[in-house]
Structure 1
Amino acid sequence: MKKHTWGFSLIELITVMLLIGILSVVLFSRLGPVNTAAVQSGRDDIIAALFFAQQTAMMRSSGGNIQIEFTSNTVSVMENGNPVTADRYPLTLPQGVSVSAETDDPVDDDKFIFDKLGRTQSGTITLTGSGNTAGTSAVIRVEASGYAYAN
């Protein structure tokens, strides 16, 4: 009579471990390089700032005039030239990330000004990485309705 043993052989265990290792390397390599995290974080922060400015303009009884100004690595939300009092603004982007903005308005081609209805000039905001984030970029498109999204 043959006695049954329960369990796996050493070869079966090694084969399963190799397959799991190969699958994990393939799956993690498709997630993207780690150096894109700073640019993506900056992109998300700018979209949040645009939403904040739009909502602030719609809440003000003075008729809006909330604008977002960009420098090379900061984002400011302003009302009639004065900073809006908020805990986050002016926002400094992550290290190694720079921003440039261009609106379709020839007069204020680097500012997004929101009116009482939350509308603004359409335009594009580009984030570019340098240093550890070199070679990565993100583009945010802003519609005239105030809707902002990442391309």
Structure 2
Amino acid sequence: MKKAEQGFSLLELITVMILLGILSVTLFSRLGPVSTAAVQSGRDDIIAALFFAQQTAMMRSSGGNIELQLTTHSVSVTENGQPIRVAADYYPLALPQGVNATPATFVFDKLGRTTANTITLTGSGNTAGTSAVIQVEASGYAYAN
């Protein structure tokens, strides 16, 4: 008896390829442009540094000597003017290439409070046209708009 050949027909393979193409176009179009990734990464780095500075100020008994300094291309958290170590690295932390921030300084008291301010990040070069806004409340709470 002759054994039936196994495998997919050409029609089945083409149908699967067309369906995968439609699914990939649909999913990737929802992710947004790649150029926003650097600005979003910079935004997240700054929010994490703000949270770290607030928590460090509340943890120290003296308080008031924890400062976050934001320059155009970096963010730094210092205690008594000295960079604080985070894991294996020290601040300042460089923002992603092509991301510029509005310079600002935040001093945290022992209750984690600081001055209210707005930080704007803008993209340049490959990330031109993208931006992000970080709102810092007087309570020290920071969030992205």
Residue pair 1:58, 1:64 contacting (<8 A) in 2 also: no
Q: Corresponding residue for 2:136?
A: 142
Deviation at 1:116? 0.6
Instruction: Tell me the equivalent position of 1:90.
Output: 92
Give the RMSD, CA atoms, in angstroms: 1.9
Counterpart for residue 58 of structure 1: 58
C-alpha distance after superposition, 1:37-88 (max 9, x if no partner): 11111111101110111011112222323221121111121334x1333223
The alignment covers a number of residue pairs equal to 139
Q: CA deviation at 1:5?
A: 8.3
CA 1:96 to 1:78, structure 2 compared with 1: closer, same or farther past 3 Å?
same
Partner of 2:106: 112
Tell me what 2:117 maps to.
123
- Whether the 8 Å contact between 2:118 and 2:134 is mirrored in structure 1 is yes
Supply the AA of the counterpart residue of 1:13: L
Q: How many Å separate the matches in 1 of 2:130 and 2:82?
A: 30
Task: State whether residues 101 and 120 of structure 2, in contact with CA within 8 Å, keep that contact through their aligned partners in structure 1.
Answer: yes
Q: Secondary structure at the match of 2:102?
A: strand
TM-score of the two chains, using structure 2 as the length reference:
0.85
Residue 92 of structure 1 aligns to which amino acid in structure 2? A
Distance in 2 of aligned mates of 1:130 and 1:19: 37
Contact 2:83 2:90 in 1 (8 A): no
Equivalent residue number for residue 107 of structure 1: none
List runs of 5+ in structure 1 lacking aligned partners.
102-109
Note if contact 1:76-1:83 (Cα within 8 Å) is conserved in structure 2. Answer: no
Q: Quick one: distance in 2 between partners of 1:58 and 1:123?
A: 20
Tell me the distance in 2 between the aligned counterparts of 1:30 and 1:18.
19
Correspondence for 1:41? 41
Provide the rounded CA distance (Å) in 2 between the counterparts of 1:88 and 1:127. Answer: 22
For 1:17 and 1:149, how far apart are their aligned partners in 2?
Answer: 42
Q: Within 1, Cα distance between the matches of 2:94 and 2:7? A: 57
Equivalent residue letter for 1:33: P
SS of the residue corresponding to residue 117 of structure 1 reads coil
Query: Can you list the C-alpha shifts for 1:3-61, whole angstroms capped at 9, x where unaligned?
Result: x9876532232122112112101211210111111111111110111011101111222
Same amino acid, percent of matched pairs: 76
